[in-house]
Structure 1
Amino acid sequence: MLGSVCYWIFNMSIIASFMGLLVLLIRRIKEIPRRLLVFLWAVPFIRMCFPIGINSKYSLLTLISKVTTRSVPVSSPSDDISMSFTNTIQQAESYSPFTFKSNLVENIFNVAGLIWIIGALAIIIALIIIYVATKHEIKDSTPLSKNVYLSGKVESPAVYGIIRPKIILPEAYSERDLTYILQHERTHIRRKDNLWRLLGFMAAAVHWFNPLSWIFLRSFLSDLELACDESAVAAYTTEERKAYATALLDSAKSKSLFVSAFGGAKVRMRIENVLSYKKMTVVSTAGFTILILAIMYALLTNAG
């Protein structure tokens, strides 16, 4: 049983890796707003967690199966007979029960499955410990206003928690930057970014053996932060965006695991993204949305 689970996790990881690499290529297109592009990261993470999907002739896997199909004629000296060998990508009819053709292969997957589950549990337990430690750090924070607290144990503003998120400010925050700081952190809360971070970490924990899963997670967190910045400054003037960028620079310090900006984009990248931000028209928003949805459909569906 454990060997079969490990086998399917391994297969899911391969497909998710392929999809994630495509997302990494697509995100190099600077014209696509990060607050729309960030949704593409759902593709590899869904592929990591769910082994089934809808069949579609418009799936990218369908295209790959057509490209990889080869016919090899084999002629007999006495008969005019040809044989064709075809390699196609298809969805499995059933993911269980699964039978290994060799006891050696089964034993290898059983051992690998044991190592996998120990590693995944260790990472999840570590995340829980860090969360509890972080929660303990801020329990003595001083209320400033609704959902906003002051704490001498944090170095930079952040959102803590998922169900009842709190904005925690350092005691030495700047009054000049307060408006922009709160706008940024409230945008994180509105977008439920801490929840998406947690789900991303859980997916990476399940596929901890795959180095690409951690690269995808890091890129996802970076795009999540850039997307938050874009949403926060969407209604700002050029001067207000400059002031927002200054606030980013002032609050650029290390943050804890479960706070809003963990693993986020580098400050320089965020500032450049804010200063170069252009307001989207209804037409451009609709166009990019359709493009993102079409890409997601092509990547999430199976060959059919």
Structure 2
Amino acid sequence: MESIINVTITTSITSLIILSIKALLKNKISPKWQFSLWIIVALRLLVPVLPESNMSIFNAVPQIKNVEVSERALESIGSETRSYITGDIVVGEKDKEFILSNALVQNAVTIWIAGSIIMFIYITGTYFIYHRKTRKLIVLEGGGISSVLEECKRELGINHIIKVRMGGETPLLKGLFNPEIILPEGYTNKELKSVFTHELMHYKHKDILWNVISILLLCIYWYNPIMWFSFFQFRRDMEILCDYRVLEIYNNRKEYAEVLLKTALRKNKFLLCTTSMQNGEKDISKRIKYIAYFKKPKVFWSTIAAIVAIIITSICLTNPVGKAFNVANGLDYGKIYEHKTLYVGDASKVGNLTDKLYYGEYKKGFELQTDSKPYGATINYLIKPGELSQNGVLAVTDKMMKNAAIMFCLIDNVDEITFAFNDGSGIYRFPFNRKLFNEVFNKDIREYATSLQSFKNEFIPMIYKQNWNDVKVPIDNLKHDVKDKVEKNLKVIMSSPKSSSNPQDYIEAHHNEYHNILKMGEEALQYMLTVFESKEVKGIKAHIMMSLCIDLLGDRNNVKEGSYSSPDEWYEKLSPYTASKLPPFKYETSDKIEQMVYLAALEKYSAGKGNITHENTVTIVAPHIFGTYEDGNQLKIFTTVYYNGFKLYDKTLSQDGAGVVPAAIIYTKNNDGTYTFKKYVEAMDGTYFKRSIEDFCKPRSDIAKAIMNHYGNDEDLFRIMRSNLIKYLKDNKMEGIKIKENNGEIVTLT
């Protein structure tokens, strides 16, 4: 809809400019130039993509943008500052764009389409009624009238067969492919020469085709009065141009004018579908005056007309610079800006934003810190060994700096951003903070996000001009110092109690240091396994490291307890399980609403999205549905969804990411009664949790209250989850499967 509105604005302005030029020059320029200027309007209407130019007159014209307006955002409009607010994006009045809400757009689209269809049916219906009526008229063959027609055709170089039917109310030409001249009675052979020359001139210059194109465009832009006025001016200019062409070869101007006057007294109800000598008494009088004072235009005015046409083309057939969403430097900044948000807790926008930045093809999920300040986001990437590195080392790159700058600009409350690259042997972490980038730009970079214009035309060029090599970035690269950190903690663990020979006594005496190593995850595991491979560790240290490795391996550990007598023997038997590839979870029910919830939730939380990142993980969902609300063709389903990822190592399941999230799932109802998924709106984190639920539940405050009361008392979700998991295992004939619970207990499921 925004495209239609913007085209309406640009074509209306173009038409007004052309009408003004025509009124100013009047009879100074030839009818050929007068008519040719309408080609500019046609191109403006028909060509979807035009080049950008600083000369475009539309640089000064506001841009219409269609966005969704959230109720929460609308409530946040202050009394002192008037703004248009789109979701979490605030666009000040000073910006050169106007915002249309989805509801307004949907209603306008419906009215526009209905009007276009009604008008098209009316015009085509009217024409076919008239066509059937004229088919009954007698075709003239031979005789004096036919000889006059053939003489006129020879003079104009026309060889196509053109029938003449006697009848009707006024002379006209009809038929795009099989042209016919409808000729009323009462014309002498001498007058017929003027009539036939005029109508054949229309045929020669394909005026019927231009007529059809103009009518189709009028059906599309029927709501615009400027297009109606321009249409009738276009038709008048077509007739004047036809007169001009006739007078170039027809010497008797007086006789031609008399025929026009005689024709003007007749009626014609079908002007939209035909070309005719008659186009109203008022216009006929103007045409007769034009004929009486007919002169070929001077070369000077023809030159002026050519210059004017070039200028109008330059300013009207180009688009404004910066109004289109540009793709440059490998990024689509328009699409990126769409995901601007006030809150780092808005997982949907943060996720979509990072998908569209550099390294998006390597992204494997993200983590958000929203419980307390500093608010942060960690973006995880999975790369191949040696990929993106130089001389075996992955260092800070310009692309990382640009990604961080864009995120700090567009995510209003984020304080820290970390990019974590996993190459299989360890993780490179690159943390950044907002203060660093504010210092680089000497201002709060969020100020560049007040409008797309400012973001794209000011901020983006600055991040590409910046020499990022001069910016000192504090890096906590875990991969490179993992050895030092593990050894430092091991040294503390082994420091006491020296009187004991039991490794467990050392671990219990230094609980914090032991868990410090566990928190380092895969990096610590890979380092310690490398140490075992080198056979350089013995004694108490080897036992402590073996215990750490067993805890870190979890369900991947294939060595059964009691089957080894030393750390070396344990390591020799170790062949870590890999996660089995599991079929997707499917849920089928006769309850249509429940089925729609399951489909949307599985798509939302499937492996590879959110905090479920492992490719061999199956996602199981368990919803509690609180109710629905219908608004027009929109269906909102209010639910809380418990989702959990499961990996299978041998015969044991382990959990890989989980969450319990209230949400509104929105579907659009189609004309055939089916539904199409539109949006999944999650509750926000932290202090915005309750408010966000109230927002997406409006006007059902009772449901919002029920969701809040249920949250934290959701044992039913865990029962549904366990039931769905067991059914999934049985449906896929997976017998003897156990699960390791969060408390460490092993439970048999099938």
Question: Which TM-score bucket, shorter chain as reference?
Answer: 0.7 to 0.9
Q: Shift of residue 236 of structure 1?
A: 3.4
Give the alignment of 1:181-192 within 5 angstroms. 181-192=195-206
Give the alignment of 1:245-284 within 5 angstroms. 245-252=257-264, 253-255=266-268, 256=270, 257-261=272-276, 263=279, 266-280=283-297
Q: Shift of residue 60 of structure 1?
A: 3.4
Q: Shift of residue 281 of structure 1?
A: 6.0
Question: For the structure 1 residues 269 and 151, does the alpha-carbon distance in structure 2 shift closer, same or farther, using more than 3 Å as the test?
Answer: same
Matched letter for residue 35 of structure 2: V
Are positions 1:149 and 2:167 aligned together? no
Deviations 1:178-235 (A, max 9, x none): 1111111011111111111111111111111111111111111111111111111113
> In 2, Cα distance between the equivalents of 1:35 and 1:273?
14
Residue in 1 aligned with 2:68?
101
Residue in 1 aligned with 2:234?
220
> In 1, Cα distance between the equivalents of 2:314 and 2:177?
30
Residue in 2 aligned with 1:80?
none
> In 1, Cα distance between the equivalents of 2:262 and 2:172?
13
Q: Shift of residue 103 of structure 1?
A: 5.6
Matched letter for residue 243 of structure 1: E
Contact 2:29 2:302 in 1 (8 A): no
| Range that drifts further, 179-188 or 29-38 | 29-38
Residue in 2 aligned with 1:69?
none
Matched letter for residue 61 of structure 1: F
Residue in 2 aligned with 1:195?
209
Q: Shift of residue 283 of structure 1?
A: 6.8
Q: Shift of residue 89 of structure 1?
A: 6.8
Residue in 2 aligned with 1:37?
34
Residue in 2 aligned with 1:14?
9
> In 2, Cα distance between the equivalents of 1:195 and 1:221?
12
Residue in 1 aligned with 2:381?
none
Pairing partner for 2:119 from 114, 119, 123 = 123
> In 2, Cα distance between the equivalents of 1:222 and 1:160?
17
Kindly indicate which of the two structures has a greater share of residues assigned to helix.
1
Matched letter for residue 179 of structure 1: K
> In 2, Cα distance between the equivalents of 1:148 and 1:233?
24
Pairing partner for 1:232 from 243, 246, 268 = 246
> In 1, Cα distance between the equivalents of 2:200 and 2:314?
31
Unaligned runs of 5+ in 1: 1-5, 66-87, 93-97
Are positions 1:55 and 2:72 aligned together? no
> In 1, Cα distance between the equivalents of 2:319 and 2:185?
52
TM-score by length of 2: 0.33
> In 2, Cα distance between the equivalents of 1:181 and 1:103?
64
Residue in 2 aligned with 1:77?
none
Deviations 1:210-267 (A, max 9, x none): 1111111111111111111111111333xx1121111111112222231203757711
> In 2, Cα distance between the equivalents of 1:151 and 1:235?
26
Are positions 1:176 and 2:190 aligned together? yes
Q: Which has the higher contact order (CA 8 A, sep 6+)?
A: 1
Pairing partner for 1:243 from 255, 258, 270 = 255
> In 1, Cα distance between the equivalents of 2:180 and 2:122?
22
Contact 2:67 2:102 in 1 (8 A): yes
The CA RMSD measured in Å over matched residues stands at 2.5
Residue in 1 aligned with 2:133?
137
> In 1, Cα distance between the equivalents of 2:319 and 2:294?
36
Matched letter for residue 43 of structure 1: I
| Range that drifts further, 187-196 or 132-141 | 132-141
> In 1, Cα distance between the equivalents of 2:12 and 2:292?
33
Residue in 2 aligned with 1:27?
22
Matched letter for residue 127 of structure 2: Y
Contact 2:211 2:274 in 1 (8 A): no
Matched letter for residue 102 of structure 1: V
> In 2, Cα distance between the equivalents of 1:229 and 1:36?
14
Query: Between the two proteins, what is the percent identity of the paired residues?
Result: 27
> In 1, Cα distance between the equivalents of 2:297 and 2:224?
37
| Range that drifts further, 274-283 or 209-218 | 274-283
Q: Shift of residue 52 of structure 1?
A: 2.5
Contact 1:53 1:302 in 2 (8 A): yes
Contact 1:148 1:167 in 2 (8 A): yes
Q: Shift of residue 176 of structure 1?
A: 2.3
Pairing partner for 2:219 from 205, 214, 217 = 205
Structure number with greater Rg is: 2
Question: For the structure 1 residues 103 and 251, does the alpha-carbon distance in structure 2 shift closer, same or farther, using more than 3 Å as the test?
Answer: farther
SS in 1 for 2:37: helix
Kindly indicate which of the two structures has a greater share of residues assigned to strand.
2
SS in 1 for 2:190: coil
Give the alignment of 1:158-177 within 5 angstroms. 158-177=172-191
> In 1, Cα distance between the equivalents of 2:163 and 2:54?
51
Q: Shift of residue 111 of structure 1?
A: 1.1
Q: Shift of residue 148 of structure 1?
A: 3.8
Matched letter for residue 68 of structure 2: K
SS in 2 for 1:181: helix
Question: For the structure 1 residues 281 and 235, does the alpha-carbon distance in structure 2 shift closer, same or farther, using more than 3 Å as the test?
Answer: farther
Contact 2:30 2:302 in 1 (8 A): no
